[in-house]
Structure 1
Amino acid sequence: MPPAAQSATERGARTRARILDATAAVLNANGYAGTRLSEIASVARLQTPAIYYYFSSRDEVIEAVVAAGHQSVIDHVAGALADMTGASNLEKILAAVEAHLTFVLTESQYASASIRNLGHLPAEMRTRQLSQRRAYGQMWKDLFEAGQQAGEFDPEVDIADARMLILGALNWAPEWWDPSRGALGAIVAEAKRFVRKGLSA
């Protein structure tokens, strides 16, 4: 590729990334209904029509952020579990709790925007995201089922209900947590204590 063409391609990629970054920030601040292309453009330091060079519509750029955000959660939690060979399934669940919370609360605007806005997206957009959601849910389901089979959990615990309650609580955290409520480490420790005591045999 000629240097000029390569430079233009790199500039285009940087501009596209700025638009996505800005969209994640606006989604977190305003929600799906309140996200406007004009505000995205302002945060990205662009003119609004420039966005249409990269995305055909407001919903297309929002969906790109939602998809990237959820995939980043999957990758981050899977990475946290990758080096836990030999750990109990309960310890793996606790590591997943910590990885999920830390990531969505402090490390990724995309992940937070994805989680906070999923229920407000148009039905057809939510449907297109289902394969990612199922993949992440399966990761957790496998951990819970393995823990149950290994006898690590209280036999009276319904693991399907427990899994959904835990994931629901983790996904709700971006709606209410801020640093003024307490340090991130304290919130993570409390979540892990809650899960450990709730599941342990």
Structure 2
Amino acid sequence: MSDTATTPPTSKSAQTRQRILDAAAEVLSRKGYAGTRLGDVAAVAGVQAPAIYYYFGSRDELVEEVMWVGAHRVRLHVEEVLAAVPEGATYMDRMMVAVDAHLRFELQLSDYATASIRNAGHVPEQLRVRPAAEEALYSRLWRDLFVAAQQAGEIRADLDINVFRLLLLGAMNWVVEWWNPRTRSLDELVATAQAMVRHGAGQP
């Protein structure tokens, strides 16, 4: 997967920093926090390992940045996709779009998102503070969708939308641990997740 910055860095130093960050996201998404070594990151980035310390004070500082970028980009991606939904779409339609955008970004488009999701429960607590703030903003986006859908009568009035929302986000995030494209396509996975929301939360 490839997930570089939307606007490429202009200076050589900024480009090198971005390359290191991209490499760290790739390694962290594959090997996890415990298995990520600066030597592996350096090899992927095409730099000497000591050069990493010019841009990041420690391995943990680099990991924290990857985690924050992952959480930040998921939120921005889903926000952008929702902003492009035509006026007049139902809130349920918007939730279907959000499910699709989240899963495709997580599984196809972003090493950062995969690294952030996969390692959220494995990094030291001090590395979770900044990414967790982004995750809270993203969770609020989903909460607002569910509240609006419930107020519009598109989902059941008796549904505990906070519990359902947390279950949905947890299920979608956990997909990175078990999804195998050789056994089921991403389209099938997205359709199943959408059906879970439509039939689990929607009006009978």
Q: TM-score range by the shorter chain?
A: over 0.9
Q: How does 1:34-183 map to 2 (within 5 A)?
A: 34-84=35-85, 85-183=87-185
Question: What does residue 30 of structure 2 align with?
Answer: 29
Read off the aligned partner of 1:40 and give its amino acid letter. V
Q: How far off its partner does 1:101 sit? A: 0.2
Q: How far off its partner does 1:120 sit? A: 0.9
Q: 1:126-173 CA deviation, whole Å, 9 max, x = no partner?
A: 123222111101100001011111111123321111111110111111
Q: 1:51-108 CA deviation, whole Å, 9 max, x = no partner?
A: 1111110011111111111111011100111022321111111110000000000001
Question: What does residue 3 of structure 2 align with?
Answer: none
- What is the percentage of aligned positions where both structures have the same residue? 49
How many residue pairs get aligned? The number is 193
Question: Runs (4+) of structure 1 moved beyond 6 Å?
Answer: none
In structure 1, distance between residues paired with 2:22 and 2:126: 23
In structure 2, distance between residues paired with 1:187 and 1:177: 9
Unaligned runs of 5+ in 2: 1-9
In structure 1, distance between residues paired with 2:121 and 2:110: 19
Structure 2 contact 68–130 (Cα < 8 Å) conserved = no
Read off the aligned partner of 1:99 and give its amino acid letter. A
Cα RMSD for the two superposed structures = 1.2
Structure 2 contact 28–115 (Cα < 8 Å) conserved = yes
In structure 1, distance between residues paired with 2:202 and 2:190: 18
Q: Tell me the TM-score normalised to structure 1 length.
A: 0.92
Q: 1:165-199 CA deviation, whole Å, 9 max, x = no partner?
A: 11011111111112112111111111111111111
Unaligned runs of 5+ in 1: 1-8
For structure 1, which segment, 149-158 or 111-120, has the greater mean C-alpha deviation from structure 2 after superposition?
149-158
